[in-house]
Amino acid sequence: MLDSVIFYFFAGMAIVSAVLMITRRNAIHSAIFLITTLLATAGIFLQLRAEFLFISQIILFVGGIMVLFIFVIILVRLDVPLPQVRWRTQKWIALLVALAVGMEAGVVLWFARKIPGQGLIFPNPAPADKLHPNTEELARSLFGSYLLPFEIASVLLLVAMVGAVVMAKKRTDA
């Protein structure tokens, strides 16, 4: 009972603040509601006993990426709602795309119910006191079973970072 109350609380918060994030005019307000969405998602991770994901969501997204977002918004003064005028013409395309995606999701859910033994399976959750320690399990799968993909992803990120530095450097020199 408590679990589902917590889940619906965080899920509702995430959805409401995601909607608010899109509708706010002020970029900083949008950023704040994005932070709330991310925190609510972190709360759902915690409710699922994925502690490590919970805290890395907070450290990475809220503590790192969102702080950078706000930095850029303050620095570039995006809080002036000027560029929104240009995007208003794309309203109908956006509506169409949203409808298409929504219908796809509906079709998937509908057919998943029809086919026996396939589609959405809800396995019984393991009892909370018998879970393996989350951090250790994650480390084992990242650095054991999936070492190569992990390293490739790291190299990819490093390349992106070096590329960003090089591009930024060129502009200041010119």
Partner 1 sequence: MLHSILAFVQAWWVELLCALLIVLVVPLIAVYIALVERKFMADVQARPDPMRVGPHGLLQQIPDALKLLFKEDLIPANADQFIFWFAPVLSMTAALTSMGAVAFGPWFQVARDINIGLLFVVGVSALRPLGIILGGWASNNHYSIIGALRSTAQLISYETTAGFALVSGFLLAGTLNVRAIVEIQRTDQAWFVFLAPVGFFIYLIASIVETNREPFDLPETKSELVAGSIAEYGGFRWLLYFLAEYANRIVVASVGTTLFLGGWLRPFPNVRWLIWLDAAPTLLLAAVGAYCVFRAGKQPAREQSLFMWAVALACFVVAAIFALAAPFGHLPFELMHNGLYGAFWLLFKVSAYIYISMWLRFTLPRFRFDQFTRLGWHILIPLAVINVVGVSIALALSSEFGINRWVATFITTVAAIGAAMLLLHWNDKYSDAASAALLADSSVVEGTHAG
Question: 164: helix, coil or strand?
Answer: helix
Nearest to 38 by CA among 68, 8, 58, 11: 58
> Using alpha carbons only, how large is the chain's radius of gyration in Å?
21
Q: Which of 16, 24, 51, 78 binds partner 1 (CB under 8 A)?
A: 51
Question: Least distance to partner 1 from the beta carbon of 150, Å?
Answer: 16
CB 134 within 8 A of CB 49: yes
32 Rama sector, left if φ>0, alpha if ψ -120 to 50, beta otherwise: alpha
Q: Which of 6, 18, 48, 62 binds partner 1 (CB under 8 A)?
A: 62
Q: Which of 9, 11, 16, 134 binds partner 1 (CB under 8 A)?
A: 134
| 39: enclosing H helix or E strand | helix 27-47
By CB under 8 A, is residue 66 in contact with partner 1?
yes
Question: Least distance to partner 1 from the beta carbon of 118, Å?
Answer: 34
Question: Least distance to partner 1 from the beta carbon of 100, Å?
Answer: 36
Q: Per CB under 8 A, which of residues 67..106 are in contact with partner 1? A: 67-68, 70-71, 74-75
Residue 25 backbone phi and psi in degrees, to 5: -80, -40
Q: Which of 59, 153, 155, 159 binds partner 1 (CB under 8 A)?
A: 59
CB 3 within 8 A of CB 47: yes
List residues near partner 1 by CB under 8 A: 26, 28-29, 32, 35, 51-52, 54-56, 58-59, 62-64, 66-68, 70-71, 74-75, 133-135
